[in-house]
Amino acid sequence: MGIIDQLNTALSQIMLHLPYLLTILGWTWALHIVNVFFGYKLCMFGIIPRFPTGLVGIFIAPFLHGNFNHIFMNSFFFLGLGSFVILQGQQVFNVVSIAIIVIAGLLTWLFARRAAHVGASSVIMGYWSFLLLRAYYHPDIIDLLAAGLGLYYFGVHMAASLVSHEKGV
C-alpha cells in the first residue's frame, strides 16, 4: 500500500471514530462549564497526593481543568494524538487510556507536590509515549508521522513551559 493510500485509510478511520472522541471531549467541556459555574470548586476532586481521598481524583482529574486555556489546549492535543491512538481500534484506545489514567494518576498521587492536580496532560503525554513506542516497534508512515508531530509540538510546548512564569506551571 502506498503512502497516499495509507494516509487516506488513516483519515477515513479517524473520521469513523471522531464522534467517539468528540463525545468524550463534549462531556469534559460540559463538566468544565459546571466547574466554572461553581467557581472551580470541583477541582478539589483532583488528585491530592498522599491523601486517601485524593485517590478518587485519579479517575476524575483528567476531566477537570483549571481554566479555559487549560481545557482548550488539552482538547486540541487530545483530538490530535487521540486520533492517532484510536487508529489502533477503539478497544485499544480504551485500554491505553485507562492504563495511562491509572498509572499516571498513581504516580502523581505518590510523587507530586501537595496540591490538587487536574487536567488531561498526563493522558496526552501517555498517548504520545504510546505513539513513540508504536513508531519504534512498528514503524509505518502513520506511526512515524504521529510521533514526529508529537515531538515537534511537545518539544515547543515543553521548551515554553521551562521558561514560564505562570503560577502553577
pLDDT of residue 59: 96
Q: What is this structure's pTM?
A: 0.88
Q: Which residues of the chain have pLDDT under 50?
A: none
pLDDT of residue 3: 84
pLDDT (tens digit, 9 = 90+) per residue, 28-53?
Answer: 999 999 999 999 999 999 999 999 99
pLDDT of residue 164: 57
pLDDT of residue 145: 85
Q: Which three cell numbers stand for residue 115?
A: 496540591
Query: Concatenated DSSP letters for the chain?
Result: --HHHHHHHHHHHHHHHHHHHHHHHHHHHHHHHHHHHTTTGGGGGSB-TT-GGGGGHHHHGGG--SSHHHHHHHHHHHHHHHHHHHTT-HHHHHHHHHHHHHHHHHHHHHHS-SS-B-SSHHHHHHHHHHHHHHHHHS--HHHHHHHHHHHHHHHHHHHHHHT---TT-
* 3-state SS class at 47: strand
pLDDT of residue 165: 61
pLDDT of residue 166: 60
pLDDT (tens digit, 9 = 90+) per residue, 156-167?
Answer: 666 666 665 666
pLDDT of residue 144: 87
pLDDT of residue 44: 94
